[in-house]
Amino acid sequence: MKRIRTLIVDDEPLAREGIATMLGTDHEVEVIGTCADGEEALAAIRKQQPDLVYLDVQMPRLNGFETLEQIPAGRCPAVIFVTAYDHYAVRAFETAAVGYLLKPFRDGRFHEALTRAKRQIRYAELDDVQRQTQQLSVRLQDLEARRPAARSTPAILSRLTFKVGGDYLFVEAGDIVWVEAQGEFIQMCAGGQIHRVRESLQSVEQRLDSASFVRIHRSFIVNKARIKRITPTLYGDYTVVMSDGANVRLSRSYRHELKALLPEHFC
């Protein structure tokens, strides 16, 4: 019997190793390679044409959705999504993808998704899998495009989840004072504590309510309700003093963001 040629794509080495280890006990599966980001995955898919891909959602450079967009429909393998983010996209995965795994996943859930993928591949239903994958990509992109409107719903914004090592950090959106970009990480003041998380500032900004949070510098997002004072400085910049005492620079290129909130300060 032809083995199912499988590619593993995840930016976390431990996640790649974990999936490979779990697949290593299955004689029907052959792991043909691993990739750390979407660009590597595209090259590997084009060259090796795998039957099945374990695809992480959040990755540097190209995320899982952007990776799928660049694969021709007729050459798209079966996809099992792997994600550490438990919000509404997970429900779309479960109804439209071959499978999804929410990190950290258990053996039973892992094998359930793999069995589903095997069944569809073995019964020559790969065309259906490809259509479902493409439809999922379109649906998720549509959800992303409409996300700002959905942010007004308290249930969506009440709590943010971040993965820190093997743990999950839950942060109430209203407790966030400011968020700062630091390379591949963000530093965040929330609930009287400073947290450092491996995530992009843009990703955090997309999950915050634009009515409550504003980007005042390319490296800073602040909670409007936590602004204590705004002081003009040299060259048209401003210093924004936050409720925790932090001084954040409001650069000229972002000054218009606060005009609607504090028009009297910008006359």
Please give the span between the terminal C-alpha atoms of the chain, in angstroms, as a whole number. 75
The dotted CATH code for 155-266 is: 2.40.50.1020
pLDDT band at 17 (very low <50, low <70, confident <90, very high): very high
Q: Between 52 and 260, name the one with better pLDDT.
A: 52
Higher pLDDT, 44 or 117: 44
Let me know how long the chain is.
267
CB 2 within 8 A of CB 20: no
Contact 82, 19 (CB under 8 A): yes
Average pLDDT on 62-80 reads: 83
Contact 143, 135 (CB under 8 A): no
Q: Say what the pLDDT of residue 66 is.
A: 86
Question: Would you say residue 9 has pLDDT above 70?
Answer: yes
pTM to 2 decimal places: 0.48
DSSP E strands in the chain: the ranges are 4-9, 29-35, 52-56, 78-83, 99-102, 159-164, 167-172, 176-182, 185-190, 193-197, 213-217, 220-223, 227-232, 238-242, 247-250
Q: What percent of the chain shows pLDDT beyond 90?
A: 36
**Would you say residue 88 has pLDDT above 70?**
no
pLDDT at 224 over 60: yes
pLDDT at 131 over 70: no
* Residue 71 CB partners (closer than 8 Å, separation 6+): 42, 45
The pair of three-digit structure tokens given for residue 96, joined into one six-digit string:
């439209």
Q: What's residue 151's pLDDT?
A: 45
- Contact status, residue 82 vs residue 55, Cβ threshold 8 Å: yes
| CATH code for the part of the protein at 4-150 | 3.40.50.2300
pLDDT value of position 137: 65
- All CATH 2.40.50.1020 domain ranges of the chain, comma separated, are 155-266
Picking from 208, 220, 203, the residue whose alpha carbon sits closest to that of residue 163 is: 203
Bridge partners of residue 184, in order along the sequence = none
CB 170 within 8 A of CB 119: no
Residue pair 54/10 in contact by the 8 Å Cβ criterion: yes
Identify the DSSP state of 254.
Answer: G
Range(s) within the chain of domains with CATH label 3.40.50.2300: 4-150
pLDDT for 195: 92
pLDDT at 124 over 80: no
Burial degree of 262 (CB within 10 A; 0-12, 13-18, 19+): exposed
∠ CA 164-56-10, rounded to 5°:
75
- 156 has pLDDT over 50: no
Q: What is the pLDDT of residue 185?
A: 92
Q: Which residues contact 266 (CB under 8 A, 6 or more apart)?
A: 255, 258, 259
pLDDT at 48 over 80: yes
